[in-house]
Structure 1
Amino acid sequence: MDNTFYRHLNKGLMMALLLVAPFAASSQIKGNNGAAIIPAGLAWAKNSVNTVIFRRNSLVTFKDTQYIAYYDEAQNVVLGKRRLDSKDWYLKTTPYKGDATDAHKSISIMIDGDGYLHMTWGLHGEKLNYCKSVSPGSLELTPKMSMTGFKEKHVTYPEFYKLANGNLLFLYRDGASGNGSLMLDSYSIQTREWKTLQDGWINGEGQRSPYWQTVIDNAGTIQISWVWRETGDVATNHDICYAKSDDGGITWKKSTNEKYVLPITAANAEYSLKIPQKSELINTTAIAVDEKNNPYIVNYWKTAKDSVPQYRLVYKKDDVWQTQQISNRKIPFSLSGGGTKRIPISRPLLIVAQKHQKKHVYVFFRDLERGDKVSVAINKNIDKDKWKFKDLTKTSVGLWEPTYDTELWKDKRILNLFVEHVEQGDGETIKELTGQKAAVLEWGIK
């Protein structure tokens, strides 16, 4: 028998093994206040790389299938999928590994309008790691490839967003902390090719860098807010800025619809709120919109009147940017220093929903003062400045930060959070923790 026979035999055996590969057993765990937790597989937990807030996305749903991505305990990239009506995951260890010891080097995934999965991983100022699935719905991946080949040697904070037509956007920082600019690529499902849409359009001018958060609103407008950082020291974060694009990222406007002259810099940016350096202002938090596409931004910082950093909401009402305090924390802390910090609270995630003609605002977070559980602050009438708090897990999730399935929320108004109990040392160090599972927390927003 010749080699061709053996090649076909081996291929057939592999296909058979894949077809009968077992699903990961997933018994649902009951959380607090109506939350349910669906575990997947064992995951890396020695730092927060699987749960950092800038993962876009950790979870993503396409039609009736949800996908998950995380590093396992051997730092392999694992992909999984399940039907939304099932608690069982099909998990696949990919050929790719990442340096999970650096919490910046997270995995981001998205499904395009044709059902192809796109993935980046392991990036903190390195050459782009990017691949996609070999076919729609598959967890088998292509070899690594470039997107455009332009400014792909110093990539950090890779994020995918899907437009209503099924095309994708890819945002990332080119450069370094305190000396970087924001890049924007676009992917067409018709040509299956990437192109550079914006080259450093939010630009640090070699003196600072933007740390951003983005949402695609109900009308397809891209809305983005960011803080500036002057150096690698987190304490040099300052100010909250804003921009939007209603033509897919080609032209940009302020909230007043005044057109920006690009690039956007510290000199011409719209400032939603001026916040000085050394205010313990954190970077890379969340932006969301209401049913009328009005922007809401959530962050934490301290003021001259309050030495304790508090979660706060920034939003526009009657054409004026407003600020509202959410939390009433008691424990102070400092963000001074570089790298990923060990912080007693997480960066917050924001969801805005319309209920009974009222705007309901939900801020998801983790706080040492509440036992490091998955918590949510709820305001059902933003005009009354009244917040209530609930815990959604019974036990600690360690140094977890919230990320969610953006497409499931956008398409079906169902909230799924990625959860895992993780650790985090200060300044990019790790702490010993094993035996933790990546999971999905389902909670019905009421």
Structure 2
Amino acid sequence: MEQQYSSRSRRLLAVLLFSGGATLIPGAVHAQEALGLGWARNNVNGAVFRKNSVVTHRNEQYTAYYDSVGYVMLAKRHLPTGPWQVQRTRYQGKVRDAHNVISLAVDGAGYVHLAFDHHGSPLRYARGVQAGSLELTDQLPMTGQQEKNVTYPEFHRFPNGDLLFMYRDGSSGNGNLVLNRYHPQTKQWARLHSVLIDGEGQRNAYWQACIDAQGTIHVSWVWRESPDVASNHDMAYARSLDGGTTWQKSTGEKYALPITMQTAEYACRIPQRSELINQTSITADAAGTPYIASYWRPAGAQVPQYQLIYLAGQRWQTAQVSQRTTPFSLSGAGTKRIPIARPQVLVRQQRGRSTLYLLFRDAERGDRASVAQCADLTQNKWQVTDLTPGTVGSWEPSYDPERWQRDGILSLFVQRTGQGDGETLEQLAAQPVYILEWKPKAISKHKSQRLATGSSEH
């Protein structure tokens, strides 16, 4: 049943930011009225690895979140300014576990696909009963294989409207990456790989993935040797030019599958106990050049910093984005309470160059949603803009990839969230869920604030 809010309730829920109105002014920030109140005692609605929290098909935009008691809420609106239709589904998730995110996609035929409530548990997947519908089917299998121990479900959409589904089969420190592909014409899932990246029973890969405008799949990952996050190490890379069937290194050398720690290409070598975080983001520009965002503590330093790893010609380089001054340590199991968010990296062409954007949240900036942008990586100068006027708690950035790629507009899922350390909860009441919109204003590569200097090659 569709939720209906009175105009007074909508005014109370509305979040007013820096600018309003129907027309997106470059550089200004706009926020839609809040959709409703979302569970906020941990970061299950705000985790960075929600692939995706917001999606667009043609002129319809969709989002999903858990409400205050854990029901899955689906919503859609007609772009650019239509009102949100919000529907409470029949499904509930175990929201006390911050791993159990909702991942959302819309295929090329306009059907919603939704996976939710996974942490080493059986697949929970449903799709719309018809194109454009917010009503979901009963729970469905995909291939029926390796669907009893699912964690970190992700959807990605190919340019032709097919879907890629990725998940971990196994556990932290001992798991493998599984890939499925969905064909809207047949409404069937097919298995691409039962084990694409093999932990060999000793470790697992924590990955991030994207599909670029040409349909190339880019995947990068860190290895973890045990359930302890401090055992994260290195950043590896692979790509597929044929929809996920075969895989190669950045040099074009073909991988023998499955990929292992010994056979992987390394974009950056990072030792264990470097405060290297897992599950961040990767993107690619119009030329198919990959960019990977993460954070770790550089050798000899005391403070973790945001880092950008990218391919320049035939060589991998690393640019330090931030100059943070507050140290912290990653160790132990479970979801951590961390003073910075895992970053999202985006890219757009500007005057023949790739302009890079890093979305983040940092306690040093008052835990606001912020974006750093750089017009020229050879200069490595970054200009930072705060997108929210106040705190978003432990939130991490997730956004609408289709709208960004098509229109150059950032549609960012925002909700203030709490997060206790090691899967504990904060006593935070349910908080408004809304979509923030921002259209970047072109910046001069000579006027950017210099936040970091130099780059290092690997």
Superposition TM-score tier, normalisation by shorter sequence: over 0.9
Q: 2:445 — aligned with what?
A: none
Partner of 1:288: 283
Distance 1:208 1:229 in 2: 5
User: What corresponds to 2:92 in structure 1?
Assistant: 97
Shift of 1:311: 0.2
Cα drift, residue 62 of structure 1: 0.8
CA distance in 2, matches of 1:107, 1:202: 24
Q: Which of residues 350, 368, 371 in structure 2 aligns to 1:373? A: 368
Amino acid aligned to 1:324: A
What is aligned with 2:132? 137
The reply to whether residue 254 of structure 1 matches residue 239 of structure 2 is: no
Q: What is the match of residue 30 of structure 1?
A: 17
> Residue 434 of structure 1: CA displacement?
1.3
Q: Which residue of 1 aligns with 2:328?
A: 333
- Pairwise mapping of residues 150-169 of structure 1 onto structure 2 (< 5 A)? 150-169=145-164
Q: 1:213 aligns with which of 193, 208, 211?
A: 208
Q: Closer, same or farther in 2 for the Cα pair 1:249/1:422, shift >3 Å?
A: same
Offset of 1:116 from its aligned partner?
A: 0.5
Q: Is the 8 A contact 1:25 1:88 kept in 2?
A: no
Given the alignment of the two structures, is residue 109 of structure 1 paired with residue 94 of structure 2, yes or no? no
Which has more radius of gyration? Answer: 1
CA contact (8 A) 1:28 1:36 kept: no
The CA deviation at 1:86 is 2.1
Match of 2:180 in 1: 185
| Displacement of 1:21 | 8.8
Alignment of 1:223 onto 2:218? yes
Aligned equivalents of 2:4 and 2:349: distance in 1? Answer: 44
Contact 2:2 2:87 in 1 (8 A): no
Please give the alpha-carbon distance, in whole angstroms, between the structure 2 residues aligned to 1:251 and 1:107.
Answer: 29
1-side partners of 2:335 and 2:402: how far apart? Answer: 28
| Shift >3 Å, 4+ stretches | 17-28
Q: For 1:188-226, what per-residue CA distance to the aligned partner results, in whole angstroms no more than 9, with x for missing partners?
A: 112111111101111101100001111111211001100
For 1:150, give the aligned amino acid: Q
Q: CA deviation at 1:293?
A: 1.1
CA contact (8 A) 1:366 1:401 kept: yes
Query: Which stretch shifts more, 402-411 or 42-51?
Result: 402-411
Cα shift readout 1:269-295 (whole Å, capped 9, x = no counterpart): 000011000000000001011121100
Determine helix, strand or coil for the equivalent of 2:31. strand
TM-score by length of 1: 0.94
Tell me the distance in 2 between the aligned counterparts of 1:288 and 1:206: 29
The answer to whether the 8 A contact 1:324-1:385 is kept is yes
The Cα shift of 1:88 comes to: 2.1
1:317 partnered with 2:312 = yes
Structure 2 unmatched runs, 5+: 20-26, 442-458
The AA in structure 1 aligned to 2:339 is P
The offset of 1:412, in angstroms, is 2.0
Report matched runs for 1:416-431 at 5 Å.
Answer: 416-431=411-426
Aligned position for 1:351: 346
Q: Which amino acid aligns with 1:343?
A: I
Contact in 2 for aligned 1:22/1:90 (Cα 8 Å):
no
Judge conservation of contact 1:55–1:106 (CA < 8 Å) in 2: yes
Q: 1:135-174 CA deviation, whole Å, 9 max, x = no partner?
A: 0000011011111110000000000011111111100000
Q: Which residue of 2 aligns with 1:362?
A: 357
The residue identity in structure 2 corresponding to 1:298 is: A
Which stretch of structure 1 is more off in the superposition, 26-35 or 209-218? 26-35
Q: Secondary structure at 1:29's aligned position in 2? A: coil
SS in 2 for 1:118: strand
| DSSP-derived class of the 1:201 partner | coil
For the residue of structure 1 that corresponds to 2:333, the secondary structure is coil
* Shift of residue 57, structure 1, vs aligned partner: 0.7
Deviation at 1:55, TM superposition (A): 0.4
Q: Which residue does 1:58 correspond to in 2?
A: 53
Stretch moving more, 357-366 or 98-107: 357-366
CA RMSD in angstroms, aligned pairs only: 1.6
- 2:29·2:436 contact (CA, 8 Å) conserved in 1? yes
Q: How far off is 1:19 after superposition?
A: 11
**Structure 2 contact 2–86 (Cα < 8 Å) conserved:** no
SS of residue paired to 2:279? coil
Q: 1:369 to 1:87 in 2, by over 3 A?
A: farther
1:85 to partner: Cα distance: 2.3
Structure 1: 5+ residue stretches without partners: 1-16
**Partner amino acid, structure 2, of 1:64:** N
For 1:404, what is the secondary structure of its paired residue? coil
User: Which of 372, 377, 385 is residue 382 of structure 1 equivalent to?
Assistant: 377
Counterpart in 2 of 1:80? Answer: 75
Question: In 1, Cα distance between the equivalents of 2:70 and 2:440?
Answer: 34
SS at match of 1:200: coil
Structure 2 CA distance for aligned equivalents of residues 232 and 199 of structure 1: 22
Aligned to 2:401: 406
Structure 2 counterpart of 1:395, from 379, 390, 394: 390
Q: Share of identical aligned residues, percent?
A: 50
CA 1:21–1:391: 2 relative to 1, 3 Å: closer
Q: Residue 304 of structure 1: CA displacement?
A: 2.0
Q: Deviations over 1:370-397 (max 9, x none)?
A: 0000011111111101112111110000
Query: CA offsets per residue over residues 22-46 of structure 1, 9 Å max, x none?
Result: 8983746223861112221110000
Q: 1 CA distance for matches of 2:137 and 2:437?
A: 31
User: Is the 8 Å Cα contact of residues 372 and 384 (structure 2) preserved in structure 1?
Assistant: yes
What is residue 260 of structure 2 aligned with on the other side?
265
Separation in structure 2 between the aligned mates of residue 37 and residue 180 of structure 1, nearest angstrom: 39
Which residue identity lines up with residue 356 of structure 1 in the other structure? Answer: R
- TM-score (normalizing by structure 2): 0.91
Distance 1:148 1:403 in 2: 28
Please give the alpha-carbon distance, in whole angstroms, between the structure 1 residues aligned to 2:259 and 2:88: 41
Q: Is the 8 A contact 1:172 1:183 kept in 2?
A: yes
